[in-house]
């Protein structure tokens, strides 16, 4: 088994972000990989003493942002802020009531399952709980070969070799292909889930709290893996999290969500140095108080 990585110091991460921003400024501006405009998603309330059954509310309202190729945008908010609903609308797992989602120049919101399928390769999701996202009745080889089979990538004879490469990409050993999910630790399961997401060679990963169910030391290792993969593969991330420190370590830009709306969206460096919105200031203050 390959040894786990050690956390990257924060200063190293900041230097890397600065170099990436400098390189981006020297490139010709291209359209965003992901463009979300005025997104709105409504749900029906359950009947309570305050609300009548079926009465609707906006879980996501007037949300707009973009993600460039190779960029990480952190979407930060407390539980119930609408960030996970936004992620699912981006993936067309739920249909927005209004607004648009454009992926690599193609508007994908509202597409049927069949018409969405060609675009699924461009964007994949990494879920919060790796245990529930991996089929316990499949070996690691079967888990990693399944997307290759679904999208008919390469020849059947090459799938086993490709699965081994995917494991090595997430710093696991090709010998692990014959093992079952329950034989791995939580961090190793999340590495397998990431490998599965990478199987179809996506341009964008939507990561919904992918470290929150892991031990603190393992969280750092998985975050460092995301940083390494971004550098090696040129991946873009929409990173959903409630953890401001994680956003600061990983993201080029950070959006703060509250009650279904984005209240502040700026470069991560600027947002942490000089927050503008009162809610952002409160979040940063509370985070500092927790660490202190």
Among the candidates 201, 223, 251, a domain finishes at 201
Give the pLDDT confidence score for residue 113 in this predicted structure.
Answer: 86
Do 118 and 42 share a structural domain? yes
pTM of the complete model = 0.86
Among 165, 186, 201, residue at a domain's last position: 201
pLDDT at 292: 46
Residue 290: the pLDDT is 54
Report the pLDDT value the prediction gives residue 56, as an integer from 0 to 100: 85
pLDDT for residue 75 is more than 90: yes
Name the band, by pLDDT with cuts 50, 70 and 90, for residue 46: low
Percent of the chain with pLDDT over 90: 73
Beta strands in 89-187 (DSSP E): 98-103, 106-107, 123-126
DSSP conformation letters of 172-214: --GGGGGS-GGGS-HHHHHHHHHHHHHTT--SEEEEESTTTTS
Q: Is residue 17 part of a domain?
A: no
The contacts of residue 12 (CB under 8 Å, 6+ apart) are none
Lowest mean pLDDT among 23-32, 112-121, 190-199: 23-32
Average pLDDT of 231-256? Answer: 95
Residue 138 lies in a domain: yes
pLDDT at 19: 53
Between residues 9 and 180, the one the model is more confident about: 180
Inform me whether the pLDDT recorded for 123 exceeds 90.
Answer: yes
Whether residue 19 is contained in a domain is answered as no
pLDDT at 26: 47
Report how far residue 115's alpha carbon sits from residue 38's, in angstroms, rounded to the nearest whole number.
23
The pLDDT, as a whole number, for residue 15 is: 54
Q: Are residues 63 and 176 in the same domain?
A: no
- pLDDT surpassing 70 at residue 196: yes
One domain, residues 215 and 150: no
Does residue 181 sit within a domain? yes
- What is the domain extent for residue 99? 32-122+204-292
Mean model confidence pLDDT for the chain: 87
Pairing of β 34-44 and β 56-67 = antiparallel
CA gap 182, 139 in Å, rounded? 10
pLDDT at 7: 43
Beta strand 72-76 with 98-103: parallel, antiparallel or unpaired? unpaired
Helical packing angle, 140-150 and 186-198, nearest 10° = 20
Question: Is residue 219 included in any domain, yes or no?
Answer: yes
Instruction: Mark whether 211 and 182 lie in a shared domain.
Output: no
Q: Indicate whether 182 and 213 sit together in one domain.
A: no
Token pair 């409160």 is found at 282
| 84 and 217 assigned to the same domain | yes
Answer yes or no: is pLDDT of 243 > 80: yes
Q: Are 277 and 264 in contact (CB under 8 A)?
A: yes
Same domain, 180 and 209: no
Residue 1 counted as domain residue: no
Structural domain count, the chain: 2
Report pLDDT for 156: 85
CATH of residue 246's domain is: 3.40.50.300
pLDDT at 110: 85
What is the predicted pLDDT for the residue at 289? 56
d(CA 138, CA 154): 21
* pLDDT for res 209: 94
Regarding whether 243 and 211 lie in a shared domain, the answer is: yes
Is pLDDT of 62 > 70? yes
> Is the per-residue pLDDT at 20 higher than 60?
no
112 with 208, same domain: the answer is yes
Residue 55 lies in a domain: yes
**Residues 118 and 208 occupy one common structural domain:** yes
Q: Do 209 and 276 fall into the same domain? A: yes
Terminal CA-to-CA distance of the chain, rounded, Å? 37
Q: How would residue 3 be classed by pLDDT, with cut points 50, 70 and 90?
A: very low
Between 258 and 24, the higher pLDDT residue: 258
**Count of beta carbons in the 10 Å neighbourhood of residue 81:** 23
Which of 168, 91, 176 shows the shortest CA–CA distance to 126? Answer: 91
Beta bridge partners of 261: 258
Question: What residues does 218 pair with on adjacent strands?
Answer: none
- Residue 22 confidence (pLDDT): 47
Statement to judge: residues 116 and 212 lie in one domain: yes
End-of-domain residue from the set 155, 174, 201: 201
Q: What is the pLDDT of residue 44?
A: 83
Asked, for residue 78, whether it belongs to a domain, the answer is yes
């Amino acid at each position: 088994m390959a040894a786990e990585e050690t956390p990257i110091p924060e200063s190293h991460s900041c230097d890397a972000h600065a170099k990436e921003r400098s390189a981006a400024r020297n490139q010709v501006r291209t359209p965003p990989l992901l463009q979300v405009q005025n997104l709105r998603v409504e749900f029906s309330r359950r009947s309570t003493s305050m609300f009548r059954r079926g009465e609707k509310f906006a879980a996501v309202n007037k949300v707009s942002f973009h993600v460039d190729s190779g960029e990480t945008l952190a979407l930060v908010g407390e539980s119930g802020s609408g960030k996970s609903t936004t992620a699912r609308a981006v993936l067309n797992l739920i249909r927005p009531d209004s607004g648009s989602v454009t992926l690599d120049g193609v508007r994908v919101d509202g597409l049927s399952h069949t018409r969405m399928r060609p675009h699924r390769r461009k964007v994949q999701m990494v879920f919060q709980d790796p245990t529930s996202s991996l089929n316990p009745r499949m070996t690691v080889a079967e888990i990693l070969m399944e997307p290759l089979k679904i999208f008919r990538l390469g020849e059947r004879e090459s799938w086993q070799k490709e699965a081994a490469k995917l494991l090595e990409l997430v710093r696991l050993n090709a010998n692990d292909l014959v093992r079952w999910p329950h034989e791995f630790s939580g961090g190793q399961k999340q590495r397998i889930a990431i490998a599965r997401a990478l199987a179809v060679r996506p341009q964008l990963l939507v990561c919904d709290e992918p470290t929150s169910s892991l031990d603190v030391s393992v969280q750092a290792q998985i975050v460092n893996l995301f940083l390494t993969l971004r550098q090696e593969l040129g991946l873009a991330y929409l990173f959903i999290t409630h953890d401001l420190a994680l956003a600061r370590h990983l993201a080029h830009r950070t959006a703060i969500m509250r009650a279904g709306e984005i209240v502040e969206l700026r470069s991560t460096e600027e947002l942490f140095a000089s927050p503008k919105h009162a809610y952002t200031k409160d979040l940063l203050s509370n985070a500092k108080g927790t660490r202190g």
